[in-house]
Structure 1
Amino acid sequence: MTTARKPDTTEAADAVEVLRGALTEAGIVLPSLGADTASPTLNLVSLGCVRADVALKLAGVLRQGRS
């Protein structure tokens, strides 16, 4: 007997909020950040498109955290 797995976007939605909070603290806004509703069983987070200056700022923050 096969049971269908219920789509669960809770983890993706939680991850979006945690990531949005961390990005806000760093002064970064990803306007298209959200849970990918097209593939709910995969719990994907869509980061979306950003301007080049925002991408560079994000890269700088990541590099600082790695140091």
Structure 2
Amino acid sequence: MTQASASPDTTPDAAVDPFAAMNSLRSALDQAGIVLPSLAVDPGAPTLGLIDLGRVRASVALRLAEAIQKGDAAA
């Protein structure tokens, strides 16, 4: 399977390893000081490769939004 770092615009969903994608996301979140405690591969639909982000407190959602916005500014 393709690494999680493949471009999301060109890689078919079926070719992305959901476990690698989850670990890549967890690592990026860790670098931003953000923890999503429920982050996991969704076992209910293994063929879809869904990642369950879970629920977070409002303060974590704001920090996540800020981290994404900072990333957009760097691009």
Greater helix percent: which structure? 1
Which category of TM-score, normalised to the shorter sequence, fits these structures? 0.7 to 0.9
Q: Which runs of 5+ in 2 are unaligned?
A: 1-13
Q: Which runs of 5+ in 1 are unaligned?
A: 1-7
Alignment partners' CA distance in 1, 2:54 and 2:32: 18
Larger Rg: 1
Q: Report Cα offsets for 1:4-56 as digits up to 9, x if no partner.
A: xxxx8x81111110000000000000000000000000000000000000000
Alignment partners' CA distance in 2, 1:65 and 1:43: 25
Q: Using CA pairs below 8 Å that are at least 6 residues apart, which structure has the higher relative contact order? A: 1
User: Which aligned segments of 4 or more residues in structure 1 are displaced greater than 2 angstroms?
Assistant: none
- Count of paired positions: 59
CA RMSD of aligned residues (A): 1.4
Q: TM-score, normalised by structure 2?
A: 0.75
Matched, 1:25 2:31: yes
Q: What percentage of aligned pairs have identical amino acids?
A: 49
Q: TM-score, normalised by structure 1?
A: 0.84
